[in-house]
Chain A
Amino acid sequence: MSPESQQDFALAFLSILFEGAPFILFGTLVSGFIDIYLPPGTMDRFLPKNKTLAVMSAGLMGAVFPVCECAVVPVIRRLVKKGLPVSCAITYMLAAPIVNPITALSTWKAFQGQGAGMMTCSRLLLGFLIAVGVGLIVSRLSLRSILKPQLAEELENDAARSAAKEAKSHKPDHKHDGCCGHDHGDHHHHDHGDCGHDHGAPQDNRLVAAFRSALKDFVDVGVYFSIGVAITALFNTGIAPGAEWLDGLAQNPYQAPAALMVLAFILSLCSTSDAFIAATLHKFSWGAKLAFLTFGPMMDVKLIFLYQTVMRRRFILFLAIGIFLAIGGISIFWQNLLLSSMK
């Protein structure tokens, strides 16, 4: 790499790192504290029992707990380990960076004078629909076909252990209070060996454990983020080849959304701010911008690396192709529908 390329890479790399690191920290702190303080199965209780309704509710959770795509991966890693169904976790992971008030506000603000209300509503609706669609498909797949083998094995072991404990817990002398996640009555006897929680653990020790868990999560996510940002910086500054052909595709109604989704994939922008970039891409159609704004927060270079901390590579590949086709198709259809209604 020439000294000039080094200088360009460094500026782009550090700027994206400075922008993203605080959000990763936020996500990993949340995940660390969820790990230690949130009893297993808690999330389950907030979701409807019906599988479809549960997935749809997960698609709206970002409205209550807004996180960007950098922060959401460590959070869902932890939530999955805490018993949130994988279908709901993936729905939340895909929807939360888009279906949240911060992203809605930034999109609305950036698209002033370009149909801001329509773009904001379309983005949130499309993001929600795609995430729920993926969630419903995932709910029919086996854990091992989605998650990394080690994580799937952990979950299966946890499920087996929970089942065994459930059977044991119904012995007449075993009583829990509400914080165990399952209330067996008003008795005060507490069998720590079986319930899975040490209720006598000193709080400061649990704080140390929470910070350790957050540190481990930050390093896990930070490593992949660092690799993703490095690749993004190479493309962003023109060191990597391939940027010029994008402009040549802008006028083609079918290739333009694909081109902008590729651009979103390469740029790896934060969902809270990508609308400000999209609004400046005047060569491209409205539908292409919608595709950019929906695909980017769900799949980009850095997310590919982050997703690998949770999911199998093959599943990530199918997910990427699936949402690329779905978002591209719906964006083109939606734009044509709007244009014909305006005539």
Chain B
Amino acid sequence: MKPTLRRILFSLAVLLWSGVLLYFHASGRINVYLAPDFRPIALVGGLGLAVLGLFNLFTAGQSADCGHDHEGADAEGHDHEASDLPPLTAFLLMVVPVALSVAWTKDEYSANALTSKGLYDAPADFNAPFLAASLPPFTREDIEKSQPKTDDGFYKFNLMELFFAAGDREMQKALDGLKVETEGRWIDEIQRNPNGTRKRLYRLFITCCAADSRPIPIVLEFGKTPPEMPENGWVRVAGVMTFPTEEGILQPVLQVERALAAEPPYEESFMRE
């Protein structure tokens, strides 16, 4: 392949990566993929790739002197552009997986992937001391004093606090029997649900990127057939928080009094920090 054509091909591959990075950033979809501190890095990376691709595209036909001696028998071994793979193969390997992924992604995991990432694991299996330590210690008095409340008397909590209460005796004591409201994604409960009266509510916790995310779930108990909601749709639920031990496993279970579809929050996942 002629050097000019090779440079154009490689520049286009780099520009595709750049375009994907910048598009996801500009559209806000990057929020699903990366933790906040990685997003500006991704933006700079996308811009940098654009500069690299465009510069090489516009100078593809230009002759350039690297400043080294290329004369003589060693010239072959001194090629600054010799690649490990045939250029067309390299181009396809750069472009095809990215293009397919952009076409396939729905910005969320399927139930199968969530299950393999721990959606139905016991809360005790996700004991993250550094995370638990970052949550403020509180008592029932603290909650009554400072926790925001809905008009109908439910304390507003995020799902992370309710989930971690299952592994923290102090939090459990403060929350057990309390009327709380929280929000998350709606999904089927496939464990300990013989009468079909339960659903599961979860949000993802992202450390750096979606690949390292883990679901943070609680169980929703309706006492009757749960209402119809779209799977993975956002819902706001309110009820009484309980921590029963079922089949030897301590579970955070919300006895639901109301459940309504909700708008997704700006940050759909919990993020480190």
Contacts and interface: CB of A to CB of B under 8 A. Distances in A.
Interface string A303-314: 000000100000
A139 interface: no
Interface string A260-273: 00000001011001
A209 B10 contact: no
Interface residues of B, number: 83
Main secondary structure of the interface of B (DSSP, over half): helix
Contacts of A232: 211
A9 B67 contact: no
Contacts of A214: 52
Contact of B45 (A9, A25, A211, A236): A25
Interface stretch (B100-108, B140-148, B154-162, B236-244): B100-108
Nearest to A269: B212
Residue of A154, A199, A211, A309 with most partner-chain B CB within 10 A: A211
Residue of B66, B77, B90 with most partner-chain A CB within 10 A: B66
Main secondary structure of the interface of A (DSSP, over half): helix
Interface string B103-120: 111111111110111000
B63 A11 contact: no
B67 A201 contact: yes
B130 A111 contact: yes
B11 A8 contact: no
Interface in A223-260: 223, 226-227, 229-230, 232-233, 236-239, 243
B42 A273 contact: no
Contacts of A280: 126, 128, 130-131, 207, 214
Given A19-B209, A196-B68, A208-B62, A222 B104 contact: no
Given A153-B77, A215-B52, A282 B207 contact: no
B146 to A, nearest CB: 24
Interface of B: 7, 10-11, 13-14, 17, 20-21, 24, 30, 32-34, 38, 41-42, 44-46, 48-49, 52-53, 55-56, 59, 62-69, 71, 74, 77-78, 80-85, 90-91, 93-94, 97-98, 100-113, 115-117, 125-131, 133, 207-212, 214, 272
A323 interface: no
Contact of B49 (A13, A21, A229): A21
Interface string A1-25: 0011111111111111111011101
Contacts of A23: 41, 45
Contacts of B64: 205-206, 208-209, 212
Interface string A132-167: 000000000000000000000110011001000000
A281 B56 CA distance: 44
A219 interface: yes
A29 B55 contact: no
B48 A22 contact: yes
Interface of A: 3-19, 21-23, 25-26, 29, 35-37, 110-114, 153-154, 157-158, 161, 192-193, 195-199, 201-202, 205-206, 208-209, 211-216, 218-220, 222-223, 226-227, 229-230, 232-233, 236-239, 243, 267, 269-270, 273, 276-277, 279-280, 282-283, 309
A218 B21 contact: no
A15 B65 contact: no
B105 A211 contact: no
A31 to B, nearest CB: 11
Contacts of B209: 15-16, 18-19
A114 B32 CA distance: 29
Nearest to B56: A215
Contact of A196 (B46, B69, B107): B69
29 contacts: A6-B104, A7-B104, A7-B106, A7-B110, A10-B101, A10-B102, A11-B32, A17-B101, A19-B208, A19-B211, A22-B42, A23-B41, A35-B80, A110-B130, A112-B133, A113-B129, A113-B130, A157-B74, A192-B69, A193-B69, A201-B66, A208-B62, A213-B66, A215-B7, A215-B52, A218-B49, A219-B91, A223-B84, A269-B208
